[in-house]
Chain A
Amino acid sequence: MAEKIRKQKNSKERASTEDAVEAKVSSKGEKLKADLDDLLDEIDEVLETNAEDFVKSYVQKGGE
């Protein structure tokens, strides 16, 4: 969470010093990147630790 706040602050600071249009684009890009970083942090936390075993053992019978 601390990471997220820091990133948002950075993009705000930049917006005040750069050309308005560029800043808008860049801040949007920054925001997207920060959103993705936060998401990936979370995925790293919850993803099955032994991915290989998990994938191997996930076997289903055909259905329908």
Chain B
Amino acid sequence: MSIAKVLGIETEYGIIATGVDSSPVTSSSLLINSYVSRFDGTIGWDFDAERPGSDARGFSLDDVFPQDIEMNMVNTVLTNGARYYVDHAHPEVSTPECRTASEAVLFDRAGEEIVRQSMDAAKRVLPAGAELVAYKNNSDGKGNSYGCHENYLVSRSTPFGELAALITTHFVTRQVFCGAGKVGSEFEGMPSSSVAFQLSQRADFFEEEIGLETTLKRPIINTRDEPHCDPMKYRRLHVIVGDANMSEVATFLKLGTTAILLAMIEDAQLDSSLVLATPVAAIRHISHDPTLRQKVLLDSGKTFTALELQDALCERAERYAQKFGLESVGEEDGKLILRRWREVIEGLKEDPMSMRHVIDWVAKKRIVDGMSERHNLQPTDSRLKAIDLQYHDMRADKCLALRANLETMINVEDALLATTTPPDTTRAYFRGMCLKKWPTDVVAANWDSIVFDIGREPLRRVPMMEPLRGTRQMTENLIAQSSTPAELVAGLGDQVSISSFKPTN
């Protein structure tokens, strides 16, 4: 029986400083500090449960390579339940846990608004003429890539190897509708100009089918086993193979289609007939052909295009929905996912350009081709690469995606509200509302716990090992009736434990 597909997105933004000398780490820290310093208390992150070196295949590299999280970097939790922090040399927004794909789109949009507000706030503290500019993309065009990761709650009882084998076809082919588009190639050993335009920002960077890495030899299936919830019941499938989307519908489809297919795998309703023979080569070959005619080889010996494989996956999902329903992704959302999925497949079959209001790579290619023709540009002209980069510019007055007439699902008022208000539907509600009500008494938080200072020793930790506990329905009254964290903790009774968290500042 498939479980609720609680999900979220982590986006690392590209960042540049203009008019001031600043390292990327400093720029990222300044960007985030400028935003959070507008609020009273800055809430620290509790690293107790971080185990990025733990592998889903059953071994741990934690002792072999150092924690990739720098303790001294800015790292904060927001009242909407999100995490906003410096990861390596990039500002990163992790949305709160969401119950449906459309809710996650709302919080991804809220993340964009947070970054925009951060840029405005940073501008006010920087010297005149200087600014920090963030880009919601995944590569600099020079071989350096940064990620947009998705997370899905999956059942621990589904064998990981089976799940990995069956979902890979989707990860390789879904780029036909959720690729963000890129001018040129960054595949090692291949001249940039050998590919004029490709579907995906990220396809050039994948070298393995499966593995633990995220920065070197990137695998299509990432095996990081860090569930941030009850490890006996759940996994968090950490997906590193996607592009950051500017199109809200593309984000919705990327999350929604993946969530449905994962539910199908849990229900043993996706067979192995669509398994690819060489997924690493296939992801690149598909990306490098915007005509969508590239065929890829299956284990069965047959060859299909990415679009034909998407058609087959969608058809299986449609049949699954009739038989099993779509409760695991939310019935209403599920119907919308299937309808929009079918629509993009049929649209792409007929004429990819008909999907220019929905699919990022199509919208970007339309601008690139249009400008090439208008100004008679060579494929290597810098203006084309500039278009590629500026499509993702977070400044509203510069962003090309905002001018491409993309269909929206979220209105801006809702996105702004979601910058400070958590979703009702998951434990993120409890996290966000406690931070709102007691900003100075919450001394630390992370995905699966929150630590309170109740005015006397010791600190108290409230564990949140169930992603669907701590919802508005379950905790609104308790939070409203508690005037202090001490009362809240008393109300929670034996669910509360003593915390060993030591504040660093």
* Pairing of A with B: yes
Binding site for B on A (CB under 8 A): 35-36, 39-40, 42-44, 46-48, 51-52, 54-64
Q: For residue B214, which residues in chain A have a CB less than 8 angstroms away from its CB? A: 64
Q: For residue B88, which residues in chain A have a CB less than 8 angstroms away from its CB? A: 61-64
Q: How far is the CA of A56 from the CA of B141 in the complex (A)?
A: 9
Nearest Cβ on chain B to A34's Cβ, whole angstroms: 12
Q: For residue A52, which residues in chain B have a CB less than 8 angstroms away from its CB? A: 382
Q: For residue B41, which residues in chain A have a CB less than 8 angstroms away from its CB? A: none
Contact B404 A39 (CB under 8 A): yes
Q: How far is the CA of A61 from the CA of B144 in the complex (A)?
A: 6
Contact A58 B141 (CB under 8 A): yes
Nearest Cβ on chain B to A47's Cβ, whole angstroms: 6
B389 within 8 A of A: yes
Contact A63 B90 (CB under 8 A): yes
Q: How far is the CA of A64 from the CA of B86 in the complex (A)?
A: 11
Nearest Cβ on chain B to A4's Cβ, whole angstroms: 13
Q: For residue A57, which residues in chain B have a CB less than 8 angstroms away from its CB? A: 16
Given contacts A47-B387, A60-B89, A64-B147, 5 further A-B contacts (CB under 8 A): A39-B403, A51-B382, A51-B383, A60-B90, A63-B145
Residue of B218, B366, B381, B386 near A36 (CB, 8 A) is B366
Nearest Cβ on chain B to A13's Cβ, whole angstroms: 25
Q: Is the interface of B mostly helix, strand, loop or mixed?
A: mixed
Do A46 and B145 form a contact, CB below 8 Å, given A62-B215, A63-B12?
no
Contact B89 A63 (CB under 8 A): yes
Q: How far is the CA of A12 from the CA of B396 in the complex (A)?
A: 34
Contact A60 B403 (CB under 8 A): no
Residue of A36, A51, A56, A60 near B146 (CB, 8 A) is A60
Nearest Cβ on chain B to A54's Cβ, whole angstroms: 5
Contact B382 A46 (CB under 8 A): no
Q: How far is the CA of A44 from the CA of B370 in the complex (A)?
A: 11
Do A63 and B404 form a contact, CB below 8 Å, given A40-B370, A52-B382?
no
Nearest Cβ on chain B to A33's Cβ, whole angstroms: 10
24 A-B interface contacts by CB (under 8 A): A39-B367, A39-B404, A40-B371, A43-B387, A47-B383, A55-B386, A56-B382, A58-B16, A59-B142, A60-B24, A60-B139, A60-B144, A60-B146, A61-B146, A62-B88, A62-B146, A63-B12, A63-B87, A63-B88, A63-B89, A63-B90, A64-B146, A64-B214, A64-B218
Q: For residue A51, which residues in chain B have a CB less than 8 angstroms away from its CB? A: 381-383, 385-386
Q: 7 shortest A-B CB distances, which residue pairs? A: A63-B146, A51-B386, A61-B89, A64-B214, A60-B140, A52-B382, A64-B147
Q: For residue A40, which residues in chain B have a CB less than 8 angstroms away from its CB? A: 367, 370-371, 374
- Residue in B149, B215, B386 with the greatest tally of chain A CB atoms within 10 Å: B386
Query: What is the 8 Å Cβ interface bit string for chain B, positions 126-147, against chain A (1 contact, 0 not)?
Result: 0000000001000111101111
Nearest Cβ on chain A to B112's Cβ, whole angstroms: 18
Contact A64 B24 (CB under 8 A): no
Q: For residue B149, which residues in chain A have a CB less than 8 angstroms away from its CB? A: 64
Contacting A at CB under 8 A, from B140-176, are: 140-142, 144-147, 149
Q: For residue B386, which residues in chain A have a CB less than 8 angstroms away from its CB? A: 47-48, 51, 54-55
Q: For residue A61, which residues in chain B have a CB less than 8 angstroms away from its CB? A: 24, 88-90, 144, 146
Contact A43 B144 (CB under 8 A): no
Q: For residue A54, which residues in chain B have a CB less than 8 angstroms away from its CB? A: 382, 386, 389-390
Residue of A44, A46, A58 near B398 (CB, 8 A) is A46
- Closest partner residue, chain A, to B404 (CB atom): A39
Q: For residue A48, which residues in chain B have a CB less than 8 angstroms away from its CB? A: 386, 390, 398
Contacting A at CB under 8 A, from B331-387, are: 366-367, 370-371, 374, 381-383, 385-387
Nearest Cβ on chain A to B303's Cβ, whole angstroms: 32
- Closest partner residue, chain A, to B368 (CB atom): A43
- Residue in A35, A58, A59 with the greatest tally of chain B CB atoms within 10 Å: A58
Do A64 and B240 form a contact, CB below 8 Å, given A39-B367, A54-B386?
yes
Q: How far is the CA of A16 from the CA of B14 in the complex (A)?
A: 51
B405 within 8 A of A: yes
Contact A42 B403 (CB under 8 A): yes
B48 within 8 A of A: no
Nearest Cβ on chain B to A22's Cβ, whole angstroms: 19
Q: How far is the CA of A47 from the CA of B405 in the complex (A)?
A: 17
Nearest Cβ on chain A to B500's Cβ, whole angstroms: 29
Q: For residue B397, which residues in chain A have a CB less than 8 angstroms away from its CB? A: 46
B106 within 8 A of A: no
- Closest partner residue, chain A, to B143 (CB atom): A62
Nearest Cβ on chain B to A37's Cβ, whole angstroms: 8
